[in-house]
Amino acid sequence: DSLDNYEREMFNLQLERKLHFLRWARMIRISALKKNGLNHLMRAVTEAHAAAYRKLPTPKLTRALFEATERQQPPRARGGRPKLRFAHQGGSNPPVIVIHGNALEDVGDSYRRYLETFFREKFDLAGTPLRIEFRTKDNPYVNGEKH
């Protein structure tokens, strides 16, 4: 309430620096003394709750996954590129997106963050954390087990 514009800007920068891991959360400025911003806060809470419990159909998730990989393919690792086959919702509150494919252990943190940002924007998942999980089936032909 008593901050001038410069102090408010410096406070905002410091807050963003310290809470960089919460970039997905909306920052709502409120004043308890003047009771300003409370409607915005309640609207943000309602939106975050709806996003946390949103149903994400498998076909839409898979199409979004293909769209994301068309825009930016996962980087090559160990002579090959991870293959992302399909995605489905693995849970809610927080939403979990499970991605199936091959060589997913080679998907790096930066590509995981890219997918998280892509899905968050595509499905309007603001205000809630989003988990991305990768699952790979074992290859029965590794080590010559099957002929």
Tell me the pLDDT tens digit for each residue of 78-123: 777 888 999 999 998 999 999 999 888 888 899 999 999 999 999 9
**Closest of 54, 29, 36 to residue 130, by C-alpha:** 54
Listed in order, the ranges of the chain carrying CATH 3.30.300.20 are: 58-144
Q: Backbone dihedral region of 139: left (phi > 0), alpha (psi from -120 to 50 degrees) or beta?
A: beta
In 18-121, where do the E strands start and end? 83-91, 96-102
Note the pLDDT tens digit of each residue in 45-85. 989 999 899 999 999 999 999 999 999 988 887 777 888 99
Count CB neighbours of 77 within 10 A.
13
Say yes or no to pLDDT of 140 above 80. Answer: no
- How do residues 7-52 score in pLDDT, each as one tens digit? 888 888 888 888 877 777 778 888 878 888 888 888 989 899 998 9
Contact 24, 128 (CB under 8 A): yes
Return the CATH fold of 58-144: GMP Synthetase; Chain A, domain 3 (3.30.300)
Question: Is the overall model pTM greater than 0.75, yes or no?
Answer: yes
What whole-number distance in Å separates Cα of residue 97 and Cα of residue 61? 8
